[in-house]
Amino acid sequence: MSERRAERWLRVSARWNTTSWWGFRARGAWSRLSTAVREGDPRVVALLSATARDAGHPRRGDAGELIAELWDATGDPGLRHVVLDSGALAPEGLARLRTAALHGRLTELWPVEQADAAHRLLSDPDLRIRRTAEETCATATGPLSRALWRIASHPFEGDAEGPADLPPLTSVLLRNPAPPPAGTLTVLWAAWLRFPDPRLLTALSAWEAPAPHEPERGASLVVLEPDLSRLTAPAARAALFRAAARTGHPLGDIARTRITAALSPGLVEDLCDAAMSEPALVPFCAGKRLAPRDPVRRVVFFLLTGQLDQYRGMDPDGRLLELAYAAASPETRARLQQAMRATGGLDLVRILVGGDRRSRIPEMEEDELAYLGGQLAARGEWPQLWSMVQDVAPSTGLGLMGLFGDWAPRDEDGRRVFEMMRRADSESARAWVRGLKDWWPAIARSSRIQFHGRVNDVSFAPDAPLLAIAGTHQVAGVVDLAQGRLVERYDCFDSSVGYVVHTGGGAFVAGERTNNGRTTCRLVRCAGGAHRVLHQEPGPFTALTLRTTDGAFAAGTRGGRLLLGASDGTVEAVRLDKLGLDPQRDWPRAVTAHLPSGRLAVLARELAVTDGTATEVVARGDGGMIIGRAVFTGPDSLVVASKRGTVLQLGREGRNLVPGAVNAGLVRGLEALPGRAEVVLVDERGRILVLDAGSLEQKSLSRPKTTASVTSAHLSPSGDFLAVGYDAGFTDLYDLRTWGLPTLMTRPLVACVPADLGVVAGARAARDLPAAAREYLDLLHDLLEYRFRFDIEIGEIGDLAPLSAGEYDISL
């Protein structure tokens, strides 16, 4: 293009903003000039370069953009001078950023969405642009800084080892005095922990900004926290010790230096604890001669950290280690066993069992017992091994029987039990014990007593397996439950015997009842074949219960009296008006006692709780219903049931009993289980429910196979036996001691007591036991009997037998 034509088009293009025909021509002229510049026409380029420098020309800015674009595309040094002299900026894209950098205006003109251009700018061939880009990145703040850090942190994310050298953008950003965003801080700390580049550490330290989240936060505080007391505080020590365990990493050196500067007794103790599970800390502790102050803990530390010379010098006879092992957790014991085997020369048997083998056995794990048994067998210490078998749980002892070889006990009873254990299948026994809880019935009927005629009431003796019985046909008696036969019979009564309570010592008290309110009824004490009238008055007796553990009792009469009977048979009559009740229209429908405190609950139209002398009303309440049955679950709490079956838990507030948790069912018996915080509820269908005494939550349920209706349910004072009477003329007896069988199966024999024989005997009496179960129970019974052969007489073991099994008739 000729110079004259170019100048003419430039003059025409100056009329760009006109709206006339000249405006159309101006746009066309500028388009031709732009095309010529992009094609590199030297005349047009020179013309527009001069225009870009001309501050008064109307097309100066447009000319500068064209020249800036051409320079970005060609890199022509002459055009660079034009751009610098004119202050020209390319209109968009990377060209605009480069020209902005050339003018030192990058901070002002760099949009956040173009942050990814940083890598190109920092590697630009133009030195001026590179330096401007570096300065801009090193001082960036706000959104641009966050955008740049997002780009720069990509190489450090994930599990990669990081770049061999830091990218230019990262290197520049590390010089920025402002810390990066929280997420980027975490990435950078994690990157430094993976590959300790000193430039990363220099920047992270200069920012003094710890990582916001664990696990990087703990490590960053080890580097940055200026206050050693805070760094070594108990809550921060775990992170400090993890850092100190790093080998070949600057973090480990930093942590160990800071620990050394802040050593204190507490810090040393915790450091030694950590070293016992982190081998990397052991050289540091050994080099600083650090160890626990307590001698017992110190020998454990030396042994578990492999410092055997120090251990042997401190505990040559192993006595300290024996104490340490006895007090150690199962996990520490396992580690000590491994360490002791590696050392050699230690009497492991003595250390495992200590000076009192029997007290240690219940605490030992299966692998400890197996190891101990193997060591005793290797030494040929057969009597000690046999004694150990008699101390451990039978399922464990069966697994040790293969160690004995030809040896056997010398005594006859011992050989019999020994051979029984040899014949038993240990694997079958273990499988049965493991599955026991899944099928063992919580409550299983032991026997059934069939009576000829209706039985009104029964009562367990507190001191023997005896059951007192009140019959309709003016008769009462005592059944020996172990033998299944009637042992006493009394026909000295003038009316039907409505209530009976066995007071212990071979005596019981019975109360007559009649439907005629004017007929005289008597309270009679029976013992040793003789009887004595304790009290009589018109009208029937309506309640009778044991109220103390020494045989004292309480009774209620239709005439509105509460009778307090002493253990010697003397009776004191108390009118109900002393309890705030009207004796003219009310009477005790039932009476229940809290044996430890002697308190009585009198159930009339209202419920009144009184002390053992009936001189003070302790509390009263009705639960919003007419109460038919009640049982104390504590001195100030009862579980009560209405005649319609609603069950409430009543707790004392001041002098009132207020209702708590509620359950429902048609109740025929309600008893408290001694020492278990549970109550037994029997409904009219014979279902036996065990409920939590506080919440009334159901804990177990047993359903009998009968269509008869329940008339009464009574628990023995010890809580071992339950009697449930039915309208069909029979009473089912339950041996509740067998509840403890699943626990007993896994209990070491050394922790058993003679009473456990009763549990096993009751379980053996159960019908339909699997063959493996019966064999195991027989073995357990013989082991217990053999174990307690010197503690109790063999004859006394018979007293621990269960109720007589099966069904038997009792004729009163």
Q: Report whether pLDDT(18) > 70.
A: no
Instruction: Verify that 468 and 420 share a domain, yes or no.
Output: no
Position 585 pLDDT exceeds 80: no
Question: Does residue 253 form part of some domain?
Answer: no
**Among the ranges 237-246, 342-351, 366-375, 764-773, which has the highest mean pLDDT value?**
237-246
Indicate the number of domains in the chain.
Answer: 3
Res 170 pLDDT > 80: yes
Q: What pLDDT score does 21 carry? A: 43
Q: Are residues 456 and 418 in the same domain?
A: no
pLDDT confidence of residue 221: 92
Mean pLDDT is lowest, of 110-119, 466-475, 705-714, for: 705-714
Report the percentage of the chain scoring pLDDT > 70: 88
CB 260 within 8 A of CB 288: yes
Are 41 and 86 contained in the same domain? Answer: yes
Choosing from 49, 74, 91, the residue where a domain stops is 91
CA dist 87 and 81 (Å) reads 10
Q: Give the C-alpha separation, 600 to 356, whole Å.
A: 48
Q: Are 562 and 541 in contact (CB under 8 A)?
A: no
* pLDDT exceeds 70 at position 710: yes
- Whether 247 maps to a domain, the answer reads no
Q: Say if strands 806-810 and 445-451 run parallel, antiparallel, or are unpaired.
A: parallel
Same domain (yes/no): 467, 616: yes
Which of 555, 587, 621 is the last residue in one of the domains?
621
Does residue 549 lie within any of the structural domains?
yes
For the cut 60, the answer to whether the pLDDT of residue 16 exceeds it is no
The neighbour count for residue 705, using CB atoms within 10 Å, is 6
Q: Is residue 428 one of the residues assigned to a domain?
A: yes
For the segment 314-328, what is each residue's pLDDT rounded down to a tens digit? Answer: 888 778 887 887 777
Q: Do residues 616 and 490 share a domain?
A: yes
- Going by pLDDT thresholds of 50, 70 and 90, the confidence category of residue 183 is confident
Residue 294 makes CB contacts below 8 A (sequence gap 6+) with none
Which CATH number fits the domain that encloses residue 473? Answer: 2.130.10.10
Compute the distance between CA of residue 779 and CA of residue 763 in angstroms, rounded to an integer: 13
Residue 283, pLDDT > 80, answer yes
Determine the pLDDT at residue 570.
92
Give the distance, in angstroms, between the CA of residue 520 and the centroid of all CA atoms in the same chain: 62
Say what the pLDDT of residue 310 is: 87
| Low-confidence winner among 40-44, 162-166, 215-219, 232-236 (lowest mean pLDDT) | 162-166
Between 94 and 666, residue with greater pLDDT: 94
**Burial category of 17 from C-beta neighbours within 10 Å (exposed 0-12, middle 13-18, buried 19 and up):** exposed
Task: Please say whether the beta carbons of 783 and 396 come within 8 A.
Answer: no
Highest mean pLDDT among 403-417, 695-709, 734-748: 403-417
Name the DSSP class of 212: S
Residue 618 has pLDDT above 90, yes or no: no
Same domain, 455 and 438: no
| Coil, helix or strand at residue 415 | helix
> Is pLDDT at 440 greater than 90 in this prediction?
no
Backbone angles phi, psi at 363, to 5 degrees: -90, -10
Asked if residue 590 and residue 469 are part of one domain, the reply reads: yes
CA nearest neighbour of 788 among 754, 743, 740:
754
Residues in CB range of 511: below 8 A, 6 or more apart: 497, 498, 499, 500, 521, 522, 523, 524, 540, 541, 544, 555
- Is 291 contained in some domain? no
The DSSP element (H or E) to which 799 belongs, if any, is none
Residues 591 and 492 in one domain: yes
Cut 0.85: pTM above it: no
Choosing from 91, 125, 160, the residue where a domain stops is 91
pLDDT above 80 for 345 = no
Do 76 and 2 belong together in one domain? yes
List the domain range (segments joined by +) for residue 431.
Answer: 412-442+739-810
Residue with token string 């309440």: 621
Q: How many residues does the chain have?
A: 812
Residue 381 located in a structural domain: no
Cβ–Cβ < 8 Å for 590, 628: yes
Average pLDDT over residues 320-349: 74
Q: What is the mean pLDDT of residues 447-474?
A: 87
pLDDT at 801: 47
Whether residue 569 contacts residue 525, with contact meaning beta carbons closer than 8 Å, is answered with yes
Q: Are residues 587 and 455 in the same domain?
A: yes
Average pLDDT over residues 538-561: 92
Residue 654 in this model has a pLDDT that exceeds 80: no
Answer yes or no: is 1 within a domain.
Answer: yes
For 577-696, where are the alpha helices, taking DSSP H only? none
Q: What is the mean predicted confidence (pLDDT) over 30-43?
A: 74
Give 733's strand partners.
447, 723
**Do 423 and 461 fall within a single domain?**
no
Number of helices and strands in the chain (H, E): 34, 29
Same domain, 416 and 503: no
- Give the HSE-up count for residue 138: Cα atoms under 13 Å, Cβ half-sphere: 12
* Average confidence (pLDDT) over 380-391: 89
pLDDT value of position 415: 92
- The SS3 of residue 14 is coil
Residue 805: pLDDT band (50, 70, 90) is low
Cα gap 579→573, rounded to integer Å: 13
The one-letter amino acid code at 611 reads: D
Q: pLDDT, tens digit, for every residue of 472-506?
A: 889 999 999 888 889 999 999 999 999 999 999 99
The tokens describing 542, both together, are 């309506």
Q: Is the pLDDT of residue 794 over 50?
A: no
Q: Can you give the pLDDT at residue 341?
A: 72
Strand, helix or coil at 233? coil
Three-state DSSP class for 353?
helix
Q: What is the DSSP string of 671-688?
A: EEETTTTEEEEEETT--E
Would 137 be classed as within a structural domain?
Answer: no
